[in-house]
Amino acid sequence: MPRPTPKVRQRAKRDANHNEIVDTFLGLGGTWQELTGIGGALDGLLGVAGIDQRVEIKDGDKVASKRRLTEDEERVFQEWRGRPPVVVETIEQAIDLVNTLRRESNAISNGSRK
């Protein structure tokens, strides 16, 4: 059965901490491709040490009910067949993610997998 074509979102809403999280990724040597205007694409694609990671940014200062994934985001998380996407809510989580991707890259480079 053919999949429906993703809708192009108009003026996608960004969480208040979006730019701060992206700046953290960039400051730690990552690259970022903004995808907020593409339906079903989540917020962006982070590249670190040869590994790409789809990321959805949520505002960790909001109450849990306001940080929930939308129905479209839930569907992306469930249906994506590549590396599982992650949610990043805080600067600390952004730093941890970059460090995790670096460790995974080093493990792959050294011929051992986790």
Structural domain tally of the chain? Answer: 1
**80 CB contacts (<8 Å, ≥6 apart)?**
54
Residue 73 lies in a domain: yes
CATH code: domain of residue 63: 3.40.1350.10
Residue 30 lies in a domain: yes
| Per-residue confidence (pLDDT) for residue 12, from 0 to 100 | 65
pLDDT tens per residue, range 45-81: 999 999 999 999 999 888 888 899 989 999 999 999 9
What is the reported pTM?
Answer: 0.83
Residue whose structure tokens are 């989580």: 93
Residue 76 lies in a domain: yes
Residue 109 lies in a domain: no
Confidence of residue 9 (pLDDT cuts 50, 70, 90): very low
Mean pLDDT, rounded, of the chain:
88
| Per-residue confidence (pLDDT) for residue 8, from 0 to 100 | 45
Residue 8 lies in a domain: no
Q: Which residue has the higher pLDDT, 66 or 32?
A: 32
Whether the predicted pLDDT of 23 surpasses 90: yes
Q: How far is the C-alpha of 7 from the C-alpha of 89, rounded, in Å?
A: 25
Q: What 3 state SS string does 14-66 have?
A: CCCCHHHHHHHHHHCCCEEEECCCECCCCCEEEEECCEEEEEEECCCCCCHHH
Domain of residue 66 covers 18-104
Beta-bridge partners for 86: 55
Residue 47 lies in a domain: yes
Residue 31 lies in a domain: yes
Whether the predicted pLDDT of 6 surpasses 90: no
